[in-house]
Structure 1
Amino acid sequence: MSITAGILYPGYSAEDDYPALQRLLGEDVALPLVHTEMREDAHRVDALLDVGSDEVLADGARALLDHEVEAVIWACTSGSFVFGWDGAREQVEKLQAVTGLPTSSTSFAFVHAAARLGLRRVAVAATYPADVADRFAAFLAHGGIEVTRLSSRGIVTAAEVGTLGREQVLEFAAANDDPPAQALLMPDTALHTAQWLDELEGRVGKPVLTANQVSAWEVLRLAGDTRAREGLGALFRQTGPADGPLGGAGPH
């Protein structure tokens, strides 16, 4: 089975995670990526609302359709949850009206991935400023997920997040876990994690869900590929139905 699943990615920071994920997933998976416009690189609510605006996403989606993709993911967590649960759902619905394909966003991917792993209590290690991180915790709560610890690194730009290297990412994860949490979530698609997923879980001692990881998992699921795979963390070792409710509400 050959799968082509499309990635809409804002600006330039950790987009090279997707070719890395594609290599780990195997030769029968293609993850073509289109960069969407980012008029201002800032983890600030007004800038994020612009990053995730209907016009910006529609332009990107039309370019992505040239790659004959089978499903689409808006690979931006903050540019989806900042709209709130209902706004993020509307964002996906409008994007799907453009693509005509199964479509989701990274924010909903986190909720669906948590449901696949049976997670109800999580710690969050966010690179965002605190006010933006709070909105992610509120989004998770709407999806039935309790955040037992919320940490914020306070980085304003995606470009700066993208400069964090392996040891910084591993240390950030380990320092911000919470023993009662069933998993650790790292929600920024600007953060490189693809090549260190098993290392992250080894360092923390529990499942770790990262933004680019769950984005790839979600769009493959929507394209009908739920094969178990090694080297990509606990999430990818699970198998399950390609569609249907996975917990909470929102796009599937």
Structure 2
Amino acid sequence: MRIGLLYPTRDCGEDDFAALCRRLDPAPSLDFAYVEGDTDVGPDAAAQTAAVRALGTPGRLTAAADKLPAIPDVVSWACSSCSFAHGLDGAREQARALAEHVGVRASSTSLAYLAALDRLGAGRVALASVYHPDLTAAFAAFLAEAGVTTVHAVSADAGSDRTLAAWGGHRITELAVAADHADADAVLVPETALHTTPLLAGLDERLRKPVLTATAVTVWDAMGSAPAQSGLGTLFSAGPSRRRRSSSSS
């Protein structure tokens, strides 16, 4: 299987995606193409939101897809904020535009979260967000459109993708622990620059519930029909996605 990922910032979390794919059986091939634009616009919340919305326009995504080195079996927009900031209809439109342009199944990190929550039967979540509170609220609103309730959220307001790519496992774990809530069925960590693959099983064990990282849900959703995998947390042990119309386009 060949997965084509559209990615927002070069040399950030690509190696984490590759590490996760190497641990899968069967291991998919992985190609990246980069969406032109800039989300590193400083601390202003309104400017951050405008930047991620601009980066996620269908025209930018289809132009990036043309740079993939080969036609993939599935293409996914591997960016959390740039897909959820457009709302549920906007995320679906991104996937639809990619599917029509490339001619294969298409999804995004935000839509992958919905597919993962559906597969696990999780309707109440906590958000371990690295974003500014306004972007965290936008993610909660996106989830609410799909019938998912956010019971607790923390916002690290951590800055650029390159800053987040340098976070160590201890800092990521601290954020997930701070976000957890007794009423949450799962904890979501929405950022594809974070290196979370080595943490997947340990986070679930620590919090005694699924901890869904952006890298993990993106790859799991793209795999679609992959068998259950061990050692990668609850989501991968649950097996293939039971797809809903809201979670991808083909």
Q: Fold match, TM over 0.5?
A: yes
Matched residues, number: 243
Structure 1 residue 251: deviation in Å? 2.8
Structure 1 residue 243: deviation in Å? 5.7
Structure 1 residue 39: deviation in Å? 2.6
- Superposition map of 1:182-201 within 5 A: 182-201=185-204
The separation in 1 between residues aligned to 2:230 and 2:35, in whole angstroms, is 30
The separation in 2 between residues aligned to 1:105 and 1:84, in whole angstroms, is 12
Cα deviations by residue, 1:70-103 (Å, 9 ceiling, x for unpaired): 0111001100111111112112111212111100
Structure 1 residue 199: deviation in Å? 1.2
What is aligned with 2:51? 47
Structure 1 residue 237: deviation in Å? 0.6
What is aligned with 2:159? 156
Q: What SS is found at the alignment partner of 1:155?
A: coil
Q: Conserved in 1, the CA contact under 8 Å of 2:169 and 2:199?
A: yes
- Compared CA separation, residues 142 and 63, structure 1 to 2 (3 A): same
Structure 1 residue 245: deviation in Å? 1.9
Q: What SS is found at the alignment partner of 1:125?
A: strand
- Letter in structure 1 aligned against 2:233: G
Q: Conserved in 1, the CA contact under 8 Å of 2:122 and 2:186?
A: yes
The separation in 1 between residues aligned to 2:54 and 2:206, in whole angstroms, is 36
What is aligned with 1:10? 8
- Letter in structure 2 aligned against 1:251: S
- Superposition map of 1:11-160 within 5 A: 11-12=9-10, 13-26=12-25, 28-42=27-41, 44-64=48-68, 66-160=69-163
Q: Conserved in 2, the CA contact under 8 Å of 1:197 and 1:233?
A: yes
Structure 1 residue 107: deviation in Å? 0.6
The separation in 2 between residues aligned to 1:86 and 1:210, in whole angstroms, is 22
Q: What SS is found at the alignment partner of 2:23?
A: helix
* Unaligned segments of structure 2, at least 5 residues: none
The separation in 1 between residues aligned to 2:94 and 2:31, in whole angstroms, is 21
The separation in 1 between residues aligned to 2:91 and 2:73, in whole angstroms, is 21
Q: What SS is found at the alignment partner of 1:67?
A: coil
Structure 1 residue 69: deviation in Å? 1.2
TM-score by length of 1: 0.91
Structure 1 residue 250: deviation in Å? 4.7
Q: Conserved in 2, the CA contact under 8 Å of 1:41 and 1:159?
A: no
- Superposition map of 1:204-215 within 5 A: 204-215=207-218
* Unaligned segments of structure 1, at least 5 residues: none
CA RMSD of aligned residues (A): 1.7
Cα deviations by residue, 1:166-188 (Å, 9 ceiling, x for unpaired): 11111111122001111100011
| Amino-acid identity (%) | 37
Q: Which moved more, 1:195-204 or 1:132-141?
A: 195-204
Q: Conserved in 1, the CA contact under 8 Å of 2:107 and 2:247?
A: no
The separation in 2 between residues aligned to 1:41 and 1:194, in whole angstroms, is 24
TM-score by length of 2: 0.91
